[in-house]
Structure 1
Amino acid sequence: MRVLLAEDDHVLSGKLADVLRSEKFAVDLAVNGEDAAHLGDTESYDAAVLDLGLPGIDGLRVLEEWRAAGRGFPVLILTARDTWTDKVAGFKAGADDYLTKPFIAHEVVLRLRALIRRSAGHATTVVRCGPLTHDTQSGSFALDNEPLKLTAFEWRILSALILRKGVVVPRASLFEHVYEYHNDVESNSVEVIIGRLRRKIGASMIETVRGHGYRLVATTQ
C-alpha cells in the first residue's frame, strides 16, 4: 500500500512516515501544496494524509483540485483546524476522514487501513480468500490460521491482491503501489516478489493472466 503524506512540519512528517513505514506502507512526502497537488495528480496512491495549512497552495484547494481531476483515492485530513466550519469545509471538498492535531500516530495507521479497506469495497475488517486471511485492522496475514511472515514489499503486493481478490490486478498497478517515488528498482522486481509469495501461500493461489497481470484466487490445488 502506498500513501502520500502532505505535511510541512518536517519533524512531524518524519515521525509519522517512520511509523507508517514500520507498518509496511510505502510513503511519499510532500512539504508544500504544489508538490502535493502534483504527486496526487500524477502518481498512484491507496490513500493520502493531507494537512490543510500547507505553504503555497492550501490543502483544501489541493483536495478540491484532486477531486475535480477525478482522483478518487481516500483522503484523511490531518490538521490543527478543529472548528466545525473547518470540518464541514474539508468534507465538502472531498475528504473521507478528518483528524485534528495533536494525534496518536497509530490512530492514523488504523484510520488509513479502514479507508483503504472500504475504498476497495470491503465492509468487514477481515478479508478472506480461501485459506488466506488478512486482518485489515492489524495488518496481519494468516494462512490456514498460521501467521505469515512477510517483507514490506510482499505485504504491499499481497494486500493489493487480496483487497481485489478474484480480479486481475495489472502488473503496472502493483509496481506503482509497492515502491516509493524515488525508489530505483529493477524492472522485474514485481515478478520476483510474486515468486516469493507463491512459495509462501501456494503457487496456484496467484494466477498469472498473461499480458494483463495477476489474480488472487481461493484455491491451493
Structure 2
Amino acid sequence: MKRPVLSVLVVEDHPTIARQLVGFLEGLGWQPDHAGTGELAIRLATTQPYDVVLLDLNLPDLDGLQVCRAIKAGAPRNVPVLMLTARDAFEDKAQGFREGADDYVPKPFDLREVALRCEALARRGALYQPQELRVGPFTLMPRERRALYGDAPLALTQTGFAILLMLCREHPHPVPRSALVQHLWGATPPASDALKSHIYTLRKTLEAASGRKILATILQLGYRLDLEPPSDA
C-alpha cells in the first residue's frame, strides 16, 4: 500500500535528533518543517495546516505542555499532536494528554514507529477536518495542496499555495506583508525580497485563470483578494 504524503511539524531543540527526524521523514517523501523553539512552533502550527505535530516537551523557551495548549487553541485545523519526550512517568503522560496531546512516544524511539503513529494520527484527524475551503471562485484542498479556480486547476508552487490559502482564509480582510513573511519563513526570512517574487508569480497565475487582476496590493499594508466582479458602469 502506498504511504500518504504528510505535512509534519517537528518541534525539537536537540540538533541531532531534529536532523534524524527531518531526514527520515523526507526519505519517506513527506514534507517536514522544523521548529527549535516553542515560540516558532506556535507561530508555524497556528498559520499552516499540518497533518501532525511532533512535539518535544523539553524546549529552551517554553514548556512543551504550554506549546501544546497554544497549538490546540490556535491551529487552523484540529491538528494531532504526538509527544516525544523522556518524561515517562505516568503523571507526566497523563498531564500531556490532559493538555490536548493525542499520542505519546518515549525517548529513545524507533523512527519507524514514529512514522506509523503519525500515519495513524493523520487518518484519525482527517475524519474531523473539512476537505475543502471555498471562497468565491476558489476551491482549496489543503491536505492535497491543490486549488481550483472554478473547475480549472491552478498550477501553483507550494509557496504560492500557502499564500493563496492564507489570503482565502482571511478574505475579505487584507493580510499584512509581515504576517505572510512569518507564515512562510518564521523567524528566518530569506535575505532577498522573496515574497515579492512569489506574489508576482501568484498574481500572474490568478490573472491567467480569471482574466482580470484579482490579487490586490494594499499600500503600506499587504495583500488581499479582490473577488468582486468588475462593474459594467
What one-letter code is carried by the residue in structure 2 that aligns with 1:51?
Answer: L
User: Using a 3 Å threshold, how does the CA distance of structure 1 residues 16 and 99 change in structure 2: closer, same or farther?
Assistant: farther
Inter-partner Cα distance in structure 2 for 1:55 and 1:208: 38
Determine which structure has greater relative contact order: mean sequence separation of CA pairs < 8 Å that are 6+ residues apart, divided by chain length.
1
In the other structure, the counterpart of 2:170 is 164
Q: Find 2:131's aligned residue among 125, 144, 147.
A: 125
Shift of 1:83: 10
Matched, 1:90 2:99: no
Inter-partner Cα distance in structure 2 for 1:176 and 1:18: 27
Q: Is the 8 A contact 1:77 1:90 kept in 2?
A: no
Q: How many residues align?
A: 199
User: Using a 3 Å threshold, how does the CA distance of structure 1 residues 167 and 92 change in structure 2: closer, same or farther?
Assistant: farther
User: Using a 3 Å threshold, how does the CA distance of structure 1 residues 174 and 55 change in structure 2: closer, same or farther?
Assistant: closer
Q: Is the 8 A contact 1:79 1:99 kept in 2?
A: yes
Matched, 1:199 2:208: no
User: Using a 3 Å threshold, how does the CA distance of structure 1 residues 157 and 80 change in structure 2: closer, same or farther?
Assistant: closer
Task: Please give the residue correspondences for 1:171-210 in structure 2 after superposition, counting only pairs within 5 Å.
Answer: 171-179=177-185, 181-187=187-193, 189-202=194-207, 204-210=213-219
Tell me the secondary structure at the aligned position of residue 213 of structure 2.
helix
User: Using a 3 Å threshold, how does the CA distance of structure 1 residues 162 and 86 change in structure 2: closer, same or farther?
Assistant: farther
Q: Is the 8 A contact 1:51 1:77 kept in 2?
A: yes
Inter-partner Cα distance in structure 1 for 2:157 and 2:121: 18
Inter-partner Cα distance in structure 2 for 1:219 and 1:109: 39
Q: Is the 8 A contact 2:135 2:168 kept in 1?
A: yes
Q: Find 2:83's aligned residue among 79, 91, 95.
A: 79
Inter-partner Cα distance in structure 2 for 1:109 and 1:152: 23
Q: Is the 8 A contact 1:128 1:134 kept in 2?
A: yes
Matched, 1:39 2:40: yes
Q: Find 1:51's aligned residue among 51, 55, 58.
A: 55
Larger Rg: 2
What one-letter code is carried by the residue in structure 1 that aligns with 2:138?
Answer: L
Q: Deviations over 1:75-133 (max 9, x none)?
A: 6432368999666522433x3x524452348738957x96xxx9xxxx73211222221
Matched, 1:6 2:11: yes
Name the TM-score, length of structure 2 as normaliser: 0.63
Q: Is the 8 A contact 2:41 2:67 kept in 1?
A: no
Inter-partner Cα distance in structure 2 for 1:134 and 1:159: 7
In the other structure, the counterpart of 1:33 is none
The share of aligned pairs that are identical, in percent, is 23
Q: Which stretch of structure 1 is more off in the superposition, 211-220 or 44-53?
A: 44-53
